[in-house]
Chain A
């Protein structure tokens, strides 16, 4: 990038000229249905500032562009205000969640540091909020099935036909709920299937996959959530018969993935508590090469907080939280624990309207290493301009992720892992500044800029070459300390053209710079722009269009593989245009809704990951049903 671009960036950031951030992108349940979202990961198709990659089209590695590492994402997930840790060996896949799409009321995506119930999510956050069921008994669900184009059809029996490509689904989400006054209980069930048969990944997959049917990923999940006497209790468990591509293993490993969680929270008057426990487990299935990966992580999070009013209406909230993590490797032979204790205080002074401010300070003890977090957010409500500042310095142990376990001497599987000579007493530091501005009444403009500085950021860095059979990747992974800076800027415009037609454009650009290539190489994407349109000629019928251009991405870790097999692997993936179209119709007084979605309408086969399947056009049909028997006290 030339010096001119760098200067422009600094000018834009310093003066905020025309670039600012909306506080968050909010997707409602209606947005999800109208866009034909069938899986949780499909939600990311609607995001404006998030990038994603996948090897098989089911598990997606996602990150807010320029705000969180793509290779080892550190964004936080919250479900109904509860922090949920999805990490399983450096992967966070939304599709593993035991959460029904149909129960989601709102998804809030933050691409900047944000404080949620006393937790500072420095790398952005996804907040999923579920709807409280309606009074009475309700039965709701969704059934989807789809097929990627590109199958050979009858040409399979000729010399010019290829092999089958992926089929998606059927995907079933269903829930049964009962509610009376402020008490409710809801049970949900999910089932999903995804075929991993793309010709690009199939040779790797079938090396280890053994099964009666063609290679596929199977997901089953159950969930429960209830609200009783002010207490909110959620629980869920999911099982995935997975074919998980692990970068440090260089191929798809057939393993059973389990994710279970339970959480409870209560808030009344000045007291609030929050408890959550999660279990993530990976166990390899039988395979011809006896590749074995066994990993189990149990984690407990607890927080209690209270608040007081100072000097009239200035609010001070303070809390204490603890995280206990227990991990087991290699059939339980290796066992380790990490713990973290944190006290925090959030002060919202009563400034003269329309000026608002919130300041958080927190002190932590992460596996015996002290750390701190300082965050301030000030904004002008009338002018809709604001500034966020962050200083965070905490031990690697606070992140409880793949890098933290490996640096403690645990090596999952037979992967080649090297740990750089890290100073365990050193802490990772993040410093950031984000400016945001919104303007307009009918036509809304949202602009944002941010800059983020990382010091002593510990992350895995994998270099992949081909094995002697040229089938799978031989990966060498280093756990290294890096430093660098990344700047981002984004724009959104929302324009209701007519009563029936709304239009929006968005764009985001991020640029990292550092003397260390290991820092620069962690940010694969730079640019993403898009537009969306929604046409509703009738309240019961809609057309939804999403057009997105994802700029080229660079994957230096695949340079050796690209040299070994240039026609197959590439260190640079070209930019791609995605066009998605959804037609949606309500029936039977909203009890039924049917949508037909075409993803990648232009049918440009493209890669989102150098070692991944080619994504082709996908046609999907979704039927959503909702039946309600109202209770007498409401009717």
Chain B
């Protein structure tokens, strides 16, 4: 986490040459996600597929994006399963590979909220827990024309529980780009 957050100010300082018109466009993405790694967590829970929606817009440099993802971990032993809601905000670079292909490495931070099938503590109403999450990933997109694009993404999540949760996700999806409306652009500027 400390390295993820340390990258942020350094990158901003060094990529000022990539400045652009901020908030001029909006890209919406929807993707299916799958957790693919094995860790201590997976001794007790099996990951099910999930999905994620994102919106990104050009920032002063790079892209600023907001994402909402959901996925579930089913129990494989006598522990309760849980659903996870992951809300994050991040920043990504744009690296054109070809005329139609682009790579977007990025980082994000956010909140990872787990809702357990059973209560967490003995107190009333406490069936969920939230923790800080940081992630780093890379997205590869292919422009299909007419503002549509397909993409795949590999992402590493680090959920700051004790002990840590290390989660690798791969995903694929489709997205659309559009001009940002005047109202939305005024709101974001």
Contacts and interface: CB of A to CB of B under 8 A. Distances in A.
A160, A543, A619 interface centre (most CB from chain B within 10 Å): A619
Interface in B21-63: 22, 41, 44-45, 60-61
B144 interface: no
Interface string A159-175: 01111110100000000
Given A153-B161, A154-B116, A538-B60, A617 B132 contact: yes
A455 interface: no
Interface residues of B, number: 44
Report the interface size class on chain A.
35 or more
Contact of B186 (A164, A588, A596, A621): A588
Main secondary structure of the interface of B (DSSP, over half): mixed
B12 A603 contact: no
A213 B123 contact: yes
Given A214-B126, A545-B9, A151 B162 contact: yes
A501 to B, nearest CB: 7
B131 A149 contact: yes
Nearest to A605: B162
B13 A535 contact: yes
A154 B73 contact: yes
Nearest to B113: A147
Given A154-B73, A154-B116, A603-B2, A212 B163 contact: no
B120 A535 contact: no
Interface in B138-189: 159-163, 165, 186-189
A210 B92 CA distance: 48
Contacts of B20: none
A213 B119 CA distance: 13
A155 interface: yes
A545 B5 CA distance: 11
B131 A151 contact: yes
B123 A214 contact: yes
Interface in B99-132: 109, 111, 114, 116, 120-121, 123-126, 129-132
A329 to B, nearest CB: 34
Nearest to B183: A588
Contacts of A598: 1, 5, 109, 132
B80 A157 contact: yes
Given A212-B123, A214-B126, A619-B132, A150 B162 contact: yes
B82 interface: yes
A601 interface: yes
Contacts of B76: none
A158, A533, A540 interface centre (most CB from chain B within 10 Å): A158
A543 B125 contact: no
B114, B124, B131, B188 interface centre (most CB from chain A within 10 Å): B131
Interface string A61-105: 000000000000000000000000000000000000000000000
A537 B132 CA distance: 26
Contact of A147 (B16, B41, B111, B163): B111
Contact of B161 (A151, A157, A167, A541): A151
B95 interface: no
B89 interface: yes
11 contacts: A147-B131, A151-B129, A151-B130, A153-B159, A154-B165, A213-B125, A214-B121, A537-B16, A602-B2, A603-B1, A603-B2
A621 B111 CA distance: 10
Contacts of A541: 60
Contacts of A152: 161-162
A173 B32 CA distance: 39
B44 A587 contact: no
Nearest to A545: B9
A589 interface: yes
Contacts of B126: 213-214
A403 interface: no
Contacts of B129: 151, 153, 156, 164
Given A154-B82, A583-B8, 9 more contacts: A153-B131, A153-B161, A153-B165, A154-B44, A154-B161, A161-B162, A538-B60, A587-B189, A588-B189
Nearest to A147: B130
Contacts of A619: 109, 111, 132, 160
Contacts of A587: 187-189
B188 A162 contact: no
B22, B45, B162 interface centre (most CB from chain A within 10 Å): B162
A303 B120 CA distance: 56
A578 B84 CA distance: 30
Contacts of B61: 537
Contacts of A621: 111
Interface in A481-530: 501
